Amino acid sequence: MSHEPLRVLLWAPRGAGEHYHGPGSFAYRLYSLADPADLEVSLVHGKPEQASYDLFAQQHGLGRAESVFGLPAFLWKSKKWLRAHHGDFDVFHALSGYQSSVSPAYEAERLGLPAALFIAAHGRDLADKPGVKRLIGLPARRRRLIRRLSAVVAMSTAIYRELRSYDVPADRIVRIPLGVNTTRFRPATDPADRRQTREMLDLPPERFTVLFVGALAAIKRPLLLVEAMARLHPREDVQLVVVGPQNEPGYSGTVTDAIGSLGLEGRVFLRPYATEIEQYFRAADVFALPSASEGMPAAMVEAMASGLPVVGTGVSGIEDLIEHGTNGSIVEPNAQSLAEALQHYLDDPRLLAEHGARSRRRALDRYDARAVLNAHRALFRGMLAGTPAAASSTLPEME
């Protein structure tokens, strides 16, 4: 029996697409797997540079959301737009816990459009911060508003606990992790395939390759990886590939200076973000991410699906992804701890292969994108039926 598609309004103030802000990329890739006869997705954004994608049935820009002067205008336009168009959709799916998403989500809910809010980062989206925003109570106001939404999506155990600490009702929190396309992100078929991929990427093909994917930013701490590289032996057999935008020129300069002062020219490669990022994962031996803070890093999930051991700090999301000593290593946030973990893999090919295989299995079992898409579909249909959000996910608990 045929049925009308579920009409989803994706609210992405920072845009959505193949290489946009993390949650926007996640949502784009997630909905790219959906059958348009089942889910019809429209996009509202606050990014004037947003590209046009065939995936979206409609696209609407409401100015620039992420600026001091642009945000008030964006929020005013949001309220006006939702009042005119809320009846055109079945559910509202907002990305991030900042004002540009929370206020429109609450407005949608008030207008009778059930809203689900995706929290992208632990300890950032909703937390109090120094300065004017705290003085005027914006984070506290957002925390009050999200308690009234139909659903709040927590993608990590730490985010779930944070939401509960803000008195968000447990039955309104649904636990859905990031998903990964396990067909697109898959292991190299053999060492020859890995070497050939390195050559295609203009990388030395015979070296043990450590991969970092993410912004060259202080919060991601790639500098620690550069410093760790100088401690590995034999140094000439190892290379580090850093793939991502240089969003913080000052920090990028510090990383570049460190490469020179440590004598790592020709051993550390800085590359811009690549559309076909899966090739870099297939070229690597191990993935490392020493972040100071995360929600759940999509790049680490992609690395696991690509059959790589994963090394990271014990922060939100990473602690869910890594089972220490089974598919990777949880390390302290310093160069020595990173170097010791990487050295183990460099010295023990059998351990490298075992942990890589377990990473792939864990990605297939828990983070496959189609399972995550089904979880969102179940959540949205449950919201329409009045089912508590916590009962709607089709994925296991992330304990």
Residues in the chain: 399
Q: 364, 370, 375, 377: which is closest to 397 by C-alpha?
A: 375
Average pLDDT, the chain: 92
Quick: pLDDT tens for 261-278. 999 999 999 999 888 899
- Note whether residue 60 is domain-resident: yes
377: buried, middle or exposed (CB in 10 Å: 19+, 13-18, 0-12)?
middle
The CATH number linked to 94 is: 3.40.50.2000
- What is the rounded distance in angstroms from the CA atom of residue 275 to the CA atom of residue 368? 20
Residue 137 lies in a domain: yes
pLDDT (0 to 100) of residue 18? 79
Paired tokens of 113: 């459009």
Cα separation of the two ends of the chain = 38
272 domain residue, yes or no: yes
> Can you give the C-alpha Rg of the chain in angstroms?
21
**pLDDT at residue 134, rounded to an integer:** 56
Same domain, 351 and 376: no
- Using DSSP bridges, classify how beta strands 238-243 and 208-213 pair: parallel, antiparallel or unpaired: parallel
Residue with tokens 């100015």: 63
Structural domain containing residue 133 = 6-179+368-391
The domain total for the chain is: 2
- Examine residue 259 and state whether it is found in any structural domain, yes or no: yes
Q: What is the mean pLDDT of residues 369-379?
A: 93
C-alpha distances in Å from residue 103, one per residue of 75, 108, 260? 7, 9, 47
Share of the chain above pLDDT 90, in %: 77
Claim to verify: residue 102 and residue 35 sit in the same structural domain: yes
Query: In Å, what is the CA distance from 328 to each residue of 69, 191, 202, 207, 341?
Result: 44, 20, 27, 20, 9
Q: Are residues 218 and 160 both part of a single domain?
A: no
Q: What is the pLDDT of residue 258?
A: 96
Beta bridge partners, 41, equal 8
Judgement on whether residues 153 and 206 belong to the same structural domain of the protein: no
Same domain membership, residue 158 and residue 286? no
pLDDT at 82 over 80: yes
Per-residue pLDDT at 120: 80
Residue 145 CA from chain centroid, whole number: 24
Same domain as 88, residue 221: no
pLDDT of residue 118: 94
84 lies in some domain:
yes
* 56 & 112 share domain: yes
Residue 231 and residue 298 share a domain: yes
What pLDDT is stored for residue 399 in this prediction? 43
- Could you please report the per-residue DSSP string of 10-53? EEETT--STTSSHHHHHHHHHHHTS-TTTEEEEEEES-TTPPP-
Question: What are the tens digits of pLDDT across the range 38-59?
Answer: 999 999 999 999 999 999 999 9
The answer on pLDDT for 1 being more than 50 is no
pLDDT at residue 26 in the model: 87
Q: Do 166 and 312 share a domain, yes or no? A: no
Between 66 and 123, name the one with better pLDDT. 66
Q: Does residue 130 form part of some domain?
A: yes
State residue 38's pLDDT score: 95
Same domain flag for 237 and 315: yes
Q: Please check whether residues 357 and 383 belong to one and the same domain.
A: no
Question: Which residues, including other chains, have CB under 8 Å from residue 158's CB and lie 6 or more apart?
Answer: 122, 123, 315, 316, 317, 319
Q: What pLDDT is recorded for position 273?
A: 82
3-state secondary structure of 291: coil
- Residue 185 included in any domain: no
Are residues 34 and 150 located together in one domain of the fold?
yes
370 pLDDT higher than 50: yes
Q: pLDDT (tens digit, 9 = 90+) per residue, 120-171?
A: 877 777 877 666 555 567 889 999 999 999 999 998 888 899 999 999 999 9
Evaluate whether residue 87 is within a structural domain: yes
